[in-house]
A and B are shown apart, each in its own frame.
Chain A
Amino acid sequence: MNTIVSLLSIMFFPVGISLILSGMLYEWADRKLVARFQNRIGPRWFQPLADTIKLLSKEEIKPHSVNNLLFYGLPIVALSGALTAALYTPILGFAPTYSFQGDLIVALYLLSLLTMCTGLAGWNGASRFSLIGATRSLTQLFAYEAPFLLALLGPAMAAGTWTIKDISVYAENHWMFIAQPVGFVVALIGLMGKLELPPFDAPEAETEIVAGALTEYSGRGLALFHIGKSVELVVAISLVTAFYLGGVGNPLIFLLKTLIILLFMAMLQSMLTRLRIDQTVGMWWRFGALLALLQILVIILLKGWLA
Chain B
Amino acid sequence: MNVSQNYVSQLMGRITTWARVNSPWAIHFNSGSCNGCDIEILATLTPRYDIERFGIKLRGSPRHADVLICTGPVTRQARERLLRTYEQMPDPKFVVAVGSCGISGGVFQGCYNIVGHINEVLPVDAFIPGCPPRPEAIIDGIVKLLTHLQNGTRPEPIQFAPQETA
Contact = CB atoms under 8 A, between A and B. Distances in A.
B63 interface: yes
Given A42-B52, A53-B15, A218 B47 contact: no
Interface stretch (B18-26, B98-106, B114-122, B134-142): B18-26
Given A54-B16, A57-B16, A206-B59, A218 B64 contact: yes
Q: Place the interface of chain B in its size category.
A: 20 to 34
Interface string A207-218: 100110011111
B116 to A, nearest CB: 28
Contacts of A129: 61
A54 to B, nearest CB: 4
Contacts of B91: 58-59
Contacts of A215: 60-61, 63
Chain A interface, DSSP helix/strand/loop, else mixed: loop
A14 B55 CA distance: 29
A51 interface: yes
Contacts of A44: 22, 53, 55
A31 B47 CA distance: 13
A219 interface: yes
B152 interface: no
Given A40-B50, A46-B22, A50-B22, A211 B64 contact: yes
B155 interface: no
A61 interface: yes
Contacts of A60: 90
Q: Place the interface of chain A in its size category.
A: 20 to 34
Interface in A192-242: 206-207, 210-211, 214-219, 222
Nearest to B49: A40
B90 A219 contact: yes
Contact of A206 (B22, B23, B60, B88): B60
Contact of A57 (B19, B22, B50, B60): B19
7 contacts: A31-B52, A38-B47, A54-B20, A206-B60, A211-B60, A211-B61, A211-B63
Interface of A: 31, 35, 38-44, 46-47, 49-54, 57-61, 129, 206-207, 210-211, 214-219, 222
Given A61-B88, A217-B63, 20 more contacts: A31-B52, A38-B47, A39-B47, A42-B50, A42-B53, A43-B55, A50-B18, A50-B23, A51-B19, A53-B15, A54-B20, A57-B16, A58-B66, A61-B63, A207-B60, A211-B61, A214-B61, A215-B63, A216-B63, A218-B90
**A-B CB proximity, top 10 nearest:** A53-B19, A40-B50, A59-B90, A50-B22, A210-B60, A218-B63, A54-B19, A40-B47, A57-B16, A50-B23
